[in-house]
């Protein structure tokens, strides 16, 4: 029986205080990983995520950083290495939230924030954490993308631009570090059901659901499952991939 086994691995999950991030962090702990729980402004939520990880018998620390700032990310790397050890699994999940509108009405600062928190986050994380992965000859990197980057629908121009820039960085990075036994992949969720939806009973979205071949929205756990798979050695020969977890709403063509 195949099992996702991350025992002995140290993971960093950025944005781990958020709706999706905390489920990813918990899932990695369930698979055996110790977890550095990153947050930017929500320490209380990050502490709750860390407590969940510890309740599963894994080590956890809470780390703060601005993922759009290289020096801040470098400082985070030093702290994680000192307190947990060398990171071999990274999930780049953090992103700046903003109000979606048309390109003509969207403030230019929103385009910059999306580029910085998507593409540049991966650049900063790579510069800070991948040298140790290269030295140990092993590493796994998963960036959380979105179905929006493939669909390019109205009203999401800044988000789409930032995530498409991320896609370019990830593909280049995968080719640059592959010979060091480091894989770099992307998980691209559709509109995902989170704990907030469950609490507010907003899981069903009929207009959206009818555009999904599987007829429903995906769940945070389904996104976390794919992420854990790509971080595991079950996916040891998969790199540079953009994998939609959107119920068939996005089907990349050959």
Amino acid 85: pLDDT = 97
The confidence score (pLDDT) of residue 31 equals: 98
pLDDT surpassing 90 at residue 7: yes
217 and 230 in contact (C-beta within 8 Å)?
no
Query: How far is the C-alpha of 119 from the C-alpha of 126, rounded, in Å?
Result: 11
* pLDDT higher than 90, residue 253: no
Residue 179 CB-half CA count within 13 A: 1
DSSP letter for each residue of 88-111: -EEEE----------TTTS-HHHH
Give the residues across from 81 on adjacent strands.
none
* pLDDT recorded at residue 11: 98
C-alpha 120/C-alpha 83 separation (Å) is 25
CA–CA distance, 63 with 57 (Å, rounded to integer): 19
Cα 74 to Cα 97: distance, rounded to the nearest angstrom: 23
Residues in the chain: 254
- Is the per-residue pLDDT at 1 higher than 80? no
The residues assigned a catalytic role are 159
Question: Percentage of the chain with pLDDT > 90?
Answer: 97
Residues 6+ apart with CB under 8 A from 3: none
Considering the entire predicted model, what is its pTM?
0.95
Pick from 140, 227, 144: nearest CA to 177 = 140
**Closest by CA position to 58, among listed 35, 83, 85:** 35
Given a cut of 90, whether residue 159 has pLDDT beyond it is yes
What letter would DSSP give residue 237? T
Judge whether 130 and 224 are in contact, CB under 8 Å. Answer: no
175: Cβ contacts below 8 Å, ≥ 6 apart: 240
Mean pLDDT of 152-179: 97
Mean pLDDT of 59-78: 98
For 26-43, what is the mean pLDDT?
96
Q: Are 178 and 239 in contact (CB under 8 A)?
A: yes
| pLDDT tens digits along 87-139 | 999 999 999 999 999 999 999 999 999 999 999 999 999 999 999 999 999 99
Domains of the chain as residue ranges with CATH: 10-245 (3.40.50.720)
- Bridge-based pairing of strands 34-39 and 10-13 is parallel
Tell me what percent of the chain is helix, strand and coil, each rounded to the nearest 5: 50, 15, 35
Q: What is the pLDDT of residue 249?
A: 97
- Residue pLDDT, tens place only, 187-207: 999 999 999 999 999 998 999
Longest Cα–Cα distance of the chain, Å, equals: 53
């Amino acid at each position: 029986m195949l099992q996702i086994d991350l025992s002995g691995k140290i993971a960093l999950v950025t944005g781990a205080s958020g709706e999706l991030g905390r489920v990813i962090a918990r899932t990695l702990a369930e698979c055996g990983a110790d977890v550095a729980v990153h947050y930017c402004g929500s320490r209380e939520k990050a502490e709750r995520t860390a407590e969940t990880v510890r309740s599963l018998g894994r080590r956890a620390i809470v780390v703060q950083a601005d993922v759009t700032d290289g020096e801040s990310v470098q400082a985070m790397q030093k702290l994680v290495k000192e307190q947990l050890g060398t990171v071999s699994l990274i999930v780049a999940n953090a992103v700046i939230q903003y109000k979606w509108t048309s390109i003509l009405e969207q403030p230019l600062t929103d385009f910059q924030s999306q580029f910085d928190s998507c593409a540049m986050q991966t650049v900063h994380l790579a510069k800070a954490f991948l040298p140790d992965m290269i030295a140990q000859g092993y590493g796994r990197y998963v960036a959380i993308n979105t179905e929006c980057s493939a669909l390019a629908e109205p009203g999401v121009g800044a988000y789409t631009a930032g995530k498409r820039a991320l896609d370019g960085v990830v593909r280049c990075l995968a080719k640059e570090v592959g010979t060091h036994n480091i894989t770099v992949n992307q998980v691209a969720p559709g509109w995902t059901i989170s704990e907030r939806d469950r609490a507010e009973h907003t899981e069903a979205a009929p207009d959206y659901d009818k555009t999904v071949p599987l007829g429903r929205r995906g769940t945070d756990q389904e996104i976390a499952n794919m992420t854990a798979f790509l971080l595991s050695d079950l996916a040891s020969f998969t790199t540079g991939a953009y994998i939609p977890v959107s119920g068939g709403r996005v089907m990349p063509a050959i």
